[in-house]
A and B are shown apart, each in its own frame.
Chain A
Amino acid sequence: MPVSPSPLPASDRLRFLTCGSVDDGKSTLIGRLLHDCGQVPEDIVEAARRQSPAGATGPGGLDFAYLLDGLEAERQQGITIDVSYRSFMTPRRAFQVADCPGHAQYTRNMATAASNCDVAIILIDARKGLLEQTRRHATLCAMLGIKDIAVAINKMDLMAWSQATFDVIVRDFSSLSDRLGFLSVEAFPTAATLGVNLVTRQGSPDWYVKGTLLDWLERVEVSRKARSQALRLKVQWVARPDQDSRLYLGNLSSGSLRVGDTVQVGHSGQLAQVTSLLVAGVPSHAAQAGDPVAIELSEHVDLTQGDILCGQTPQPDFASQFAADLIWFDATPMTPGRTYILKGASGWVTGSISRLKYRKDLESDRENAASVLGMNEIGLCNLALSKPMLCDPFATHPTTGGFIVVDQVSNETLGAGMIRHSLRRSANLTPVAATIDPSARVARFGHRPLVIWLTGLSGSGKSTIAKLVEASLWAQGVATSMLDGDNLRTGLCRDLGFTDADRVENIRRTAEAAKLLHQSGLVVLCALISPFQRDREMAKSLIGQADFLEVFVDTPLETCITRDPKGLYKKALAGEIPNFTGIGSAYEAPLEPGLHLKTNDASPEALSAIVTNKVLSQIRG
């Protein structure tokens, strides 16, 4: 097909990424593309030429990848670690390209780029065909909503421009892309180092009669740009220009807005009319999707930064349980039951993955049962939140249907999710309101309830101290209850082992049990190794910080090994017990415990008196 001149496509900058496996030539392809478009200033080419390794085959010994790989470590290792964003322009269109790393360990960076791109170029090394990483990147592009794909089958010069090779790879890729639901796919035989079929057809084999990659980039119409028509306005800031007025500032993620329109506060359903509207600081009558707006409302509503404003129809779906596709980025696996922080279109919320329905095997495209999601793995999950959030399906609401998963201790971004649909389950279950008022329980028992959480190594003395404290409290008229790790494991938690995932679930069940006893007005003593800080945080957030006393029973490991009351250390050191805390599994000491007991310095009786006094002052003070 001869290249037909086409009019300038409507004009917004095209954002695209290049992805694929390691050494398929992504950076080289982009470097060459920029170079052949005449978009690289001479001093930059000169600098890249000086850095290029000896034997580079580009003009004057230039390695085109060095026009992009900007980090020292990248140049030293000859790989791409993080995404490089480059802008360039042709007479037809302006572009921003995101050059992505191919290594699986940097999948998080590829996903970062894909989330904000319109279309993708997937590179395939003609000598290798489709690799797992090709499938991973294609799958991620699809999950993140990219609909239009160019497949650059590269290094064709090294396969003597074999049409048969090209056809086989095209066929393999179409069987993958059919499943992934791309709307348009075009394939190009390329040789990036030589520049064939990037900007010019020079050197292209006779059997290939279509256009170049650049033709495609200039002409492609972006399918993903279609947005939902539903009004979504994320409130980022509330401004008070003067005493009387209150302006809500945010971007219109989707839909349109006019002065006089009725909007509703997402989480409460409160209604109000838009009385004035500014777009990018300028008074306006109407705003379109993507516009930065500031609005005033007719009513005083409970609305602050992080909240979302919606239209009345269709009614926005707020739910505290939903299903989502999840990509995991962190080296520590995603474990169902563990508490994470989520941020989506309606702000921050805590929650956990209640169920991992399957993990996707990229090689076979099968959906396998799994207990955790490891680094760079993809799965379908159910999530449960501490409060409802806006559940816009990502497929129809690409600007509001995504969320990130953050670690509540380290604050690292661990994963990202795309909402599929809310789960009605949560809507049909209404917690039964207590008939007996908590204050009535306080009056009956003569004290407030409290959860005392003793954490420490096995053999540190948790149970010993807990028993002494309980006896002493009981003697002073306190209604108590005891949840001991070993006792729970022989009953409520007897199906659980000692893997990280099972430990998380063990803590969750204990915390839930403690919560029920706490709600009954009791002072609950929990004695568990509970080695992970984030899990203790989860227990604390479940009970509520004010009624949670974390007690660190601090006994050095050597002392515990010497004591070894149950003979467990002996077995663990002999390798008979895997994942034993302190030996085969880590113990994370509390950073700021409510009480820090050093058992080497004092007797259990003296330490329990400290706890008892602290508890009494807290529940009766």
Chain B
Amino acid sequence: MSFPQLFRGQSVVYNVATMAIENDLDLMLRVRDGDTASFEILLRRYRLPMVSYFRRMVRDQGLAEDLAQEVFLRVYKSRERYQPEAKFTTWLYRIATNLALNAIRDRKDEVSSTVGDDPDGGTEFERFVDPQPTVEQRLVQGDRERLIRQAVEALPENQRAAVLLHKYQEVDYRQIARILRVSESAVKSLLFRAYETLRLRLEPMLREGRI
């Protein structure tokens, strides 16, 4: 079945119903067997999580969509080799994370000004801790979201990926370990350091929130 056909007649009804009851693994196995409609369901199910993940990982919104598209394309290309050994999302986010990290490294010159060489982002840390008036001004400007984004973007790549997966994609830390190919204790360590750094960087906002 071609994609345009999915939008005609009963195909839509079938797919909406199917989306609710079928798990990712079954859908992916059907994609492996050549069922394009199942791929369409996976696309609809994960289009927003993928684009959101990339938008938080890389700043460029156009690049985020390009990378998300590349994830789906790679899923489709490797459908015949797909082995249901792990959760579908583990595979999906592993592809996405690798793409994102490569994209960040490709744009290293551009990103280095915010990330720095310090694993805990020391340069950026100073920027957030010291200037309380600046934070106040930014709060006045209603720019809280930008401050959060900058704080997260200032994290080292692995910490950023771990926090984004854990906090925004709601991925369990055990699954994050498989996505990042590190141990579970290593993931916990990444998350501890990342959340503590964020707490310190966004402390003015946390005080504001308490008031």
Instruction: Say whether A associates with B.
Output: no
Query: What residues make up the interface of B, taking CB atoms closer than 8 Å to A?
Result: none
Query: What residues make up the interface of A, taking CB atoms closer than 8 Å to B?
Result: none
